Amino acid sequence: MPQAPHTVLVVTSLIDETANMVIRALGEHQVQVARIDPADIGAGLTFGARIGDGRNSWSGRVVTPSRSVSLEEIGSVYYRRPSPFRSFAATEQARQFVITEARHGLSGLLGSLPNCRYVNHPAATARADFKVAQLEAAARVGMKIPQTLVTNDLDAARAFARKHDRIVYKSFRAVPATPDGHVGAIWTRRVDPDDLDESVCMTAHLFQEEIPKSADARVTVVGDRVFASRITHPEGVIDWRDGDWSKLTYNHIEVPDAIRQPLFAYLNHFSLVFGCFDFALEDRGSGEVWTFVECNPNGQWGWLPDYDAIARAFADVLLEGWWR
């Protein structure tokens, strides 16, 4: 008889306060929680799994210095933000080989656990992490999106700039860390058409019409629950992440029905259970217009006013269907 699952596996870095919030909420249900960081593979994390010889799913254990977990006892996986794999091999070729093998072996196993609910599955997160795919999905489910150009063609960029009164540039990803560990960021920036030059040809760029917004909305969807906050800044900055966060104000906001249903359709399109949506709010007198900006399939929410309720929603959705 198959073993009844009774453990939630939390896959994240060891220093992750957001994951701690969910773990505390899971504790209210008296469910067992095992926390691992795949980057600890080695002395801090060993595993073994078998398939075949009558087995049609993986069977084995994951072992840390404090826990030994049977794969069969895992009922759901909260896949948060594990650390990047690392290697101390002598050569760069060897380091890359070790990292690649760990990713395909251990991460492949953690993404193939039998009868598990993933929030979110890492493959779904990876697919939904492309802004190009996000914009198309948002448009297909009926959300308003900014007019957008993705290009490395200087003439196309200049023509786009001429067409619109104001345009902004957004990077696709965060800036990689420097060798000494410093992390940078490129926030959304207004583009002066005169500054567009041949450097545009060096890589892909994302240009959009600037939305004359009055505020932003952060909408966090977990399962069938929706949490939304209006974010305002007294100086009306283009990107609220850039600047003094102490000046930001947060207020609860109701999500219109015309937006609420497309949220679920969007998540279903990418097979996601959770997502953090950002919208630009434009006051047109007759009401606010919501324009989709992006959806982070592994976004942060621990700083929002309703973080406690969000953490409990995560616990509920992780236990849904298998925990009594």
The residues of the chain that CATH labels 3.40.50 are 7-120+312-319
- pLDDT value of position 1: 44
Q: Would the pLDDT of 289 be above 60?
A: yes
Q: Fold for domain 7-120+312-319? A: Rossmann fold (3.40.50)
pLDDT in tens, 18-39: 999 999 999 999 999 999 999 9
Please state, as a whole number, how many other Cβ atoms lie within 10 Å of the Cβ of residue 186. 14
Which residue, chain included where needed, has tokens 């251990």? 106
Question: Which of the two residues, 277 and 55, has the higher pLDDT score?
Answer: 277
Q: Would the pLDDT of 78 be above 70?
A: yes
**Consecutive H or E run containing 26:** helix 17-27
The residues of the chain that CATH labels 3.30.470.20 are 127-145+211-297
The closest alpha carbon to 85, from 108, 118, 62, 107, belongs to 107
In this structure, CATH architecture of domain 147-209: 2-Layer Sandwich (3.30)
pLDDT in tens, 239-283: 878 777 778 899 999 999 999 999 999 999 999 999 999 999 998
183 pLDDT band (50/70/90 cuts)? Answer: low
Angle between the N-to-C axes of helices 17-27 and 307-319, in degrees from 0 to 180, rounded to the nearest 10? 60
**120: cis peptide before it, omega within 30°?**
yes
User: How much is the average pLDDT of 296-314?
Assistant: 95
CATH superfamily label, 127-145+211-297: ATP-grasp fold, B domain (3.30.470.20)
